[in-house]
Amino acid sequence: MPTPPVSALVAPLGEGPAPLYARVKQMITQQIESGSWPPHQRVPSESELVNQLGFSRMTINRALRELTAEGLLVRMQGVGTFVAEPKTRSALFEVNNIADEIAARGHQHSCQVIILAEEAAGSERALALDMREGQRVFHSLIVHLENGVPVQIEDRYVNAQAAPDYLRQDFTRQTPYAYLTQVAPLTEGEHVVEAILAEADECRLLQIDRAEPCLLIRRRTWSGRQPVTCARLIHPGSRHRLEGRFNK
C-alpha cells in the first residue's frame, strides 16, 4: 500500500499552542481514527515526515516513538512503520487456543515452527515439570501470526510421558494446545504475567523494535496430577492485551 500523500499529512496540523511533537501525534491519530490510514497502512518514514512537515527529526522521532508505545503504530526493523491492528484480547485466567481466538475475530491464523526437538531436562525444566534432571522433554518454539503479522511466540516444553507423539505432529495444521487437549486434557493451570523487553532474536521473530515492551505469560498446565507443559508466551505490547472480570 503506498505511503499517504503530503496533502493528507499537512492539513490536520493547523496552528496552535501544543508542542510540535504532540501536533504530529494528533495528526497521525486523526488519520487512523478516521479510517484514512487503515491497519497495516505504511506511514511515512522519519525522513519523509521531516521533508513534508519541516519539523526536526527529534520532533518526528518522539511522535512516532510515543504512538508506537501507545499501540497505534508498529515499527518493523528494516521494513518501516505501519498502522497497528487493533489490539487483540485474551481472557486473563483462561487457557485458550490462539487459532480459535484469531478465527473468532474473523482473521487468518498461521504459524512458523522454529524448533521441534527432544532435549534433556535441565534443572529449571525438571523442577517445572516435576521430573528428574536429564529426563526427556519435548521443546517447540512457534511464532503465531494473525493476518500475517506476528502476535505471539510460544516457547513450550512438554513432558514426554504425557504426550509421547508430540514430535510427530504437524503444528502448522493444529496448534500444540489443540493436540495436547486431545491427549492430555487440561485439568489445572498456572499463570504468571510479566512486562518484559524481549531478547534480540525474539524481537526479530516478532518483527518489533528492541525498545518495544512485551507481555510475557509463564504458563504451567496439568492433566490430573501429571504436569504436562511449561511455556513462555510472548506478545508484543502494541498488539495484545489481557482482560478479566471478577465477582466477589
pLDDT at 58: 92
pLDDT at 118: 97
pLDDT at 137: 97
Q: Phi and psi for 147 in degrees, rounded to 5?
A: 55, 40
DSSP state of 36: S
- What grid cell was written down for 207? 518483527
Neighbours of 56 (CB within 10 A): 12
pLDDT at 42: 87
Residue 77's region, left for phi above 0, alpha for psi from -120 to 50, else beta, is: beta
pLDDT at 163: 95
pLDDT at 6: 40
Say if residue 124 is exposed, middle or buried (CB neighbours under 10 Å; 0-12, 13-18, 19+): exposed
Residues 6+ apart with CB under 8 A from 144: 98, 99, 102, 109, 110, 111, 150, 151, 152, 153, 154, 175
pLDDT at 32: 86
pLDDT at 238: 76
Whole-prediction pTM value? 0.63
State how far the Cα of 232 lies from the Cα of 199, in Å rounded to an integer: 13
State how far the Cα of 219 lies from the Cα of 237, in Å rounded to an integer: 18
pLDDT at 34: 86
Residues 206, 150 contacting (CB under 8 angstroms):
yes
b (16+ CB within 10 A) / e for 14-50: eeeeeebbebbbbbbbebbeeeebeeebbbbeeeebb
pLDDT at 11: 45
State how far the Cα of 50 lies from the Cα of 59, in Å rounded to an integer: 9
State how far the Cα of 144 lies from the Cα of 69, in Å rounded to an integer: 22
In order along its 248 residues, the chain shows pLDDT tens digits of 555 554 455 544 555 556 888 888 888 888 888 888 888 888 898 889 998 888 899 999 889 988 887 778 887 767 788 888 765 554 444 577 899 988 988 899 999 999 999 999 999 999 999 999 999 999 999 999 999 999 999 999 999 999 999 999 999 999 999 999 999 988 888 888 889 999 999 999 999 999 999 999 999 999 888 999 999 999 998 765 555 444 44
pLDDT at 159: 96
State how far the Cα of 163 lies from the Cα of 127, in Å rounded to an integer: 18
- What grid cell was written down for 169? 505432529
Residues 6+ apart with CB under 8 A from 14: 23
